[in-house]
Amino acid sequence: MVCAILGAGAAGLVCAIRLKQLAPQIQVILLEKEPSPGRKLLATGNGRCNLSNQHAQFADEAAQAIFEKNGVTSILAFFNSLGLETVTDAEGRIYPMAMQAAAVLQILTEAAKRLGVTLVTGTCVKTIRKESGRFQITTESDNAEVKKWAADFAVVCCGGKAQKNLGSDGSGYALLKAFGHRITPLCPALVQLKSPNKSCRALKGQRRKCLVSAECSGKVLKCEYGEVLFTDYGLSGIVIMDLSAVFARHSGEENAVVIDLLPEMPEARIARHFKEFGSLVGLLGVQLDRVMQKCGGQNAEKVAHICKNWRLPVTGTLGFDHAQITMGGADLCAFHHGLESKYEKNLFAAGEILNVQGPCGGFNLSWAFSSALTVAEEIAGRTK
């Protein structure tokens, strides 16, 4: 029997390896349009590869049910079986002990080769259809060579639209749409925000942990605590990335982030500090104090209020080219618990192409790996 896996990213590589571990008799063909596999994986965790998170969970009930079957324990057991050891930081983020995404990718590619996975790179899947019970897949290589493949199982792991330069161009959605799958609205997520406020440029490079609210058309839709990084274009940092999908979904509205620079301190105490010492340098540092005084003048109450309610307009995000993931995708409701399509027997999907997203910190790689392990187990179970 033959299984064709479309896309050699995080989900595709893990699915191929696990399938060969469980059912070595299956011929696994891994088709990748980029010159090499796992390019986006190399960029994760700032090159350190944040594999998973001890606190990983998903709001979508169907996704959480899948993750409970193949969660953090299963993911780590899989990587341990390949010789990859991990470490966990104080916030629950799990990294390879080597702290190198390159090490993770090398271990995966070597395992795939050792197990007999057929990896074909520089090959774009153009069409996939079902004929006489088998999938017929047409590909075109970088040198325009057209080739046809036949498979008993097909797994779509083509990723989303985020970071086209690393291979995610959204082309995989059409493959699932051809079988009747609905693609929910797509927008960039875990992405930086643009703001015209000149204070952001003045504070370029400054980092601070704050309480940040996402405000759209005057309503606060989400609030999170975390690090903000001020940039020449606006705002970045983990908390900003986690809130970015809210603004992407509400594009075109009057949007703003409202920052509490001192969430642990009441407004009245900040005002007293300013009156006593003439500045907030001891609380905020030189640059932020300068900006607060520019906004509020020498009025202690006004400066304190701005510190607790600093409103910065948001004009958009940096888009899919800079986003870590895609919000939206193939509707998970159209897949069984084993991630087989409800519309086409033996057609599966895994990873970012599905409408499942999580915050920064290893949640999205957790989903890629968990869904890949689930698909591999489902297919292997049908070959016994």
Residue extents of the structural domains in the chain: 2-187+323-381, 193-317
**pLDDT given for residue 167 in this prediction:** 87
Judge whether residue 383 has pLDDT over 90.
Answer: no
Average pLDDT, the chain: 96
Do residues 287 and 202 touch, judged by C-beta distance below 8 A? yes
Q: Residue 336: its pLDDT value, please?
A: 97
pLDDT computed for residue 249 by the predictor: 86
Question: Which helix or strand (DSSP H or E) is residue 212 part of?
Answer: strand 207-216
Question: Does the pLDDT value for residue 31 go beyond 90?
Answer: yes
Q: Report H helices in the chain.
A: 10-22, 39-43, 61-69, 72-81, 101-115, 172-177, 198-202, 238-249, 267-277, 281-284, 286-296, 300-308, 363-381
Asked whether the predicted pLDDT for residue 298 surpasses 90, the reply is: no
pLDDT digits (tens, 9 = 90+) for 319-330: 999 999 999 999
Contact by Cβ (8 Å): 120, 12: no
pLDDT at 36 over 90: yes
pLDDT digits (tens, 9 = 90+) for 189-204: 999 999 999 999 999 9
Q: How far apart are CA 152 and CA 32, in angstroms?
A: 19
Confidence of residue 45 (pLDDT cuts 50, 70, 90): confident
Quick one: tokens of 137? 């897949």
- Looking at residue 294, its pLDDT comes to 94
In CATH terms, is domain 2-187+323-381 a member of 3.30.70.980? no
Instruction: Calculate mean pLDDT across residues 287-306.
Output: 95
Q: What is the structure's pLDDT at 243?
A: 96
Task: Convert the pLDDT of each residue in 104-144 to its tens digit.
Answer: 999 999 999 999 999 999 999 999 999 999 999 999 998 89
pLDDT of residue 200: 96
Q: How many CB atoms lie within 10 A of CB 297?
A: 10
The yes-or-no verdict on residue 252 having pLDDT over 90 is: no
